[in-house]
Amino acid sequence: MEKSKKPTLNEFWPFKKFLKTNVTITNEERDQIKYMLYNFDSLSTDPTNTTTYGHYLNILNLPILNNLKQQILTMLDNFNLTMTNNWGQLYKKGQHMRPHMHNISLYSGVIYVDGTSTNGTYFVNSLDGDIYEHSFVQNQLLMFPSNIIHYVPHETKDNGRIVISFNTDKK
C-alpha cells in the first residue's frame, strides 16, 4: 500500500502559502450536497443572488458527509488549524460571488464538488491588481490565506458550480 503524502503549503503565484489537494467525495455525499442546495435555495439572503446554505447550517455537520469532513480535519491537523465554519454554494446561470475576503479567518478553503463550470476562483494581488484564476477542478480542495481578495464571475451555465467553502483558525 502506498504511503500517503503529507500536504504542504506551496507558493501559488503570485501568492505564498496556498494548498491544493484532492479529496474523495462519494456519490452519496455528492447527492446529499446537491439535495441540500437544490432544495433550500430559498434560504439565501446573499445580495449576489448566490445560493448559500451555510447561513443556517454547517453543511459538513450532516452525518452523511462525515467522511468528507474527516478528510478536511485530518489535513487541517497537519497545519495545526481548526475549521471554524463551513457552507455550501450552488451557482446557477447568472449568479456570481462579489470580490471579498474573510477577515475573521486565518485560512479559507473551497472544495470543488460538482458541475461543468468554466469559471474558476479568481484571486486579486493587492500589490499590483493582477488577477490569478484557479480553475474549477472537481474533487479538488484549495486552501488560501483568508486576507486575499477573491471572487467568482457570473456563471454561464445552469447549475454549473457546486462548492463547499470553509474558514479556519489556529488550534
84-130 per-position pLDDT tens digit: 999 988 888 888 888 999 988 999 999 999 988 778 899 998 888 88
130 C-beta neighbours (distance < 10 Å), count: 11
pTM (2 d.p.): 0.86
Would you state the pLDDT for residue 48?
54
| CA distance readout (Å), 99 to 4, 73, 108 | 35, 27, 14
CATH of domain 11-170: 2.60.120.620
Return the pLDDT at 86.
92
pLDDT (tens digit, 9 = 90+) per residue, 14-27? 667 888 999 999 99
pLDDT (0 to 100) of residue 93: 83
For range 32-38, the mean pLDDT: 87
Cell numbers that stand for 149 in this block: 481578495
Q: Is the pLDDT of residue 52 over 80?
A: no
Average pLDDT along the chain: 84
Closest CA to 162 of 131, 119, 101, 99: 119
Partnered with residue 156 across adjacent β-strands are none
What secondary structure letter does DSSP report for 7? P
Q: Looking at residue 118, what is its pLDDT? A: 74
Which pLDDT does position 7 carry in this prediction? Answer: 65
In the chain, where the domains are located? 11-170
Angle, vertex CA 16, rays to CA 154 and CA 133, nearest 5: 20
